[in-house]
Homo-oligomer: A and B are copies of this chain.
Protein backbone atom coordinates (compact mmCIF):
# COMPACT_ATOMS: atom_id res chain seq x y z
CA UNK A 1 0.00 0.00 0.00
CA UNK A 2 1.77 3.15 -1.22
CA UNK A 3 1.62 6.40 0.72
CA UNK A 4 -1.11 8.30 -0.97
CA UNK A 5 -1.28 11.90 0.16
CA UNK A 6 -3.50 14.67 -1.09
CA UNK A 7 -3.34 18.37 -0.39
CA UNK A 8 -6.96 18.75 0.68
CA UNK A 9 -6.30 17.72 4.25
CA UNK A 10 -3.44 18.12 6.71
CA UNK A 11 -0.72 15.65 5.83
CA UNK A 12 -0.22 14.55 9.41
CA UNK A 13 -3.90 13.61 9.65
CA UNK A 14 -3.60 11.49 6.54
CA UNK A 15 -0.49 9.84 7.92
CA UNK A 16 -2.33 8.92 11.11
CA UNK A 17 -5.13 7.43 9.08
CA UNK A 18 -2.82 5.37 6.90
CA UNK A 19 -0.79 4.13 9.84
CA UNK A 20 -4.02 3.05 11.53
CA UNK A 21 -4.98 1.24 8.37
CA UNK A 22 -1.65 -0.55 8.17
CA UNK A 23 -1.88 -1.60 11.79
CA UNK A 24 -5.50 -2.72 11.70
CA UNK A 25 -5.04 -4.66 8.49
CA UNK A 26 -1.96 -6.44 9.79
CA UNK A 27 0.56 -4.93 7.38
CA UNK A 28 2.24 -3.79 10.59
CA UNK A 29 1.50 -6.77 12.86
CA UNK A 30 1.16 -7.00 16.62
CA UNK A 31 4.36 -5.85 18.33
CA UNK A 32 6.01 -5.03 15.00
CA UNK A 33 9.01 -2.71 15.12
CA UNK A 34 8.21 0.23 12.90
CA UNK A 35 10.80 1.83 10.66
CA UNK A 36 12.42 4.88 12.26
CA UNK A 37 10.75 8.27 12.07
CA UNK A 38 13.30 9.35 9.50
CA UNK A 39 12.77 6.26 7.36
CA UNK A 40 9.00 6.49 7.50
CA UNK A 41 9.25 10.15 6.57
CA UNK A 42 11.45 9.27 3.63
CA UNK A 43 9.03 6.54 2.53
CA UNK A 44 6.11 8.94 2.60
CA UNK A 45 8.11 11.85 1.19
CA UNK A 46 7.30 14.16 4.06
CA UNK A 47 9.34 16.06 6.60
CA UNK A 48 10.42 14.02 9.64
CA UNK A 49 8.69 16.56 11.85
CA UNK A 50 5.39 15.85 10.14
CA UNK A 51 5.79 12.11 10.52
CA UNK A 52 6.83 12.56 14.14
CA UNK A 53 3.68 14.54 14.73
CA UNK A 54 1.52 11.76 13.33
CA UNK A 55 3.34 9.10 15.35
CA UNK A 56 3.01 11.13 18.54
CA UNK A 57 -0.75 11.20 18.04
CA UNK A 58 -0.85 7.47 17.39
CA UNK A 59 1.00 7.08 20.63
CA UNK A 60 -1.57 9.12 22.51
CA UNK A 61 -4.26 6.77 21.27
CA UNK A 62 -2.17 3.80 22.42
CA UNK A 63 -1.82 2.12 19.06
CA UNK A 64 1.97 2.38 19.13
CA UNK A 65 4.57 2.97 21.82
CA UNK A 66 8.14 4.11 21.68
CA UNK A 67 11.27 3.10 23.51
CA UNK A 68 13.45 6.16 23.71
CA UNK A 69 16.52 5.12 21.80
CA UNK A 70 15.44 1.77 20.47
CA UNK A 71 12.51 2.49 18.23
CA UNK A 72 8.76 2.43 17.93
CA UNK A 73 6.51 -0.58 18.12
CA UNK A 74 2.96 -1.55 17.35
CA UNK A 75 1.00 -2.20 20.54
CA UNK A 76 0.85 -5.76 21.81
CA UNK A 77 -2.72 -5.31 22.92
CA UNK A 78 -4.56 -7.48 20.42
CA UNK A 79 -7.91 -6.33 21.70
CA UNK A 80 -7.11 -2.64 21.22
CA UNK A 81 -6.34 -3.24 17.57
CA UNK A 82 -9.52 -5.22 17.17
CA UNK A 83 -11.58 -2.46 18.75
CA UNK A 84 -9.86 0.19 16.64
CA UNK A 85 -10.62 -1.80 13.54
CA UNK A 86 -14.25 -2.02 14.54
CA UNK A 87 -14.41 1.68 15.28
CA UNK A 88 -12.86 2.63 11.96
CA UNK A 89 -15.22 0.34 10.09
CA UNK A 90 -18.25 1.76 11.86
CA UNK A 91 -17.10 5.29 11.06
CA UNK A 92 -16.64 4.43 7.41
CA UNK A 93 -20.01 2.75 7.07
CA UNK A 94 -21.72 5.54 8.94
CA UNK A 95 -20.23 8.38 6.94
CA UNK A 96 -20.82 6.55 3.70
CA UNK A 97 -24.46 5.83 4.39
CA UNK A 98 -25.07 9.34 5.68
CA UNK A 99 -23.78 10.90 2.49
CA UNK A 100 -25.56 8.51 0.19
CA UNK A 101 -28.86 9.07 1.97
CA UNK A 102 -28.28 12.82 1.92
CA UNK A 103 -27.67 12.58 -1.82
CA UNK A 104 -31.12 11.10 -2.10
CA UNK A 105 -30.37 7.45 -2.73
CA UNK A 106 -32.40 4.68 -1.19
CA UNK A 107 -31.52 1.35 0.28
CA UNK A 108 -31.87 -0.50 -3.01
CA UNK A 109 -29.85 2.06 -4.99
CA UNK A 110 -27.03 1.93 -2.50
CA UNK A 111 -26.87 -1.84 -2.38
CA UNK A 112 -26.93 -2.21 -6.15
CA UNK A 113 -24.24 0.44 -6.75
CA UNK A 114 -22.16 -1.25 -4.12
CA UNK A 115 -22.61 -4.65 -5.64
CA UNK A 116 -21.62 -3.36 -9.06
CA UNK A 117 -18.48 -1.70 -7.83
CA UNK A 118 -17.52 -4.67 -5.68
CA UNK A 119 -17.53 -6.82 -8.78
CA UNK A 120 -15.09 -4.41 -10.42
CA UNK A 121 -12.79 -4.19 -7.44
CA UNK A 122 -12.45 -7.84 -6.44
Q: Contacts A93-B113, A94-B117; is A85 near B100 (CB within 8 Å)?
A: no
A25 and B103 contacting across the interface, CB-CB below 8 Å:
yes
Instruction: Identify which of A8-16, A31-39, A44-52, A68-76 touches chain B.
Output: A8-16
Tally of this chain's copies: 2
Contact of A107 among B13, B105, B122 (CB under 8 A): B122
Q: Contacts A96-B92, A114-B93; is A102 near B8 (CB within 8 Å)?
A: no
Q: Is the interface of A mostly helix, strand, loop or mixed?
A: helix
Task: Answer whether residue A101 sits at the interface, using C-beta atoms and an 8 A cutoff.
Answer: yes
Task: Answer whether residue A19 sits at the interface, using C-beta atoms and an 8 A cutoff.
Answer: no
A92 and B101 contacting across the interface, CB-CB below 8 Å:
no
Task: Answer whether residue A63 sits at the interface, using C-beta atoms and an 8 A cutoff.
Answer: no
A window 19-60: CB within 8 A of B: 21, 24-26
In the complex, chain B residues whose CB is within 8 Å of the CB of A21: 99, 102-103
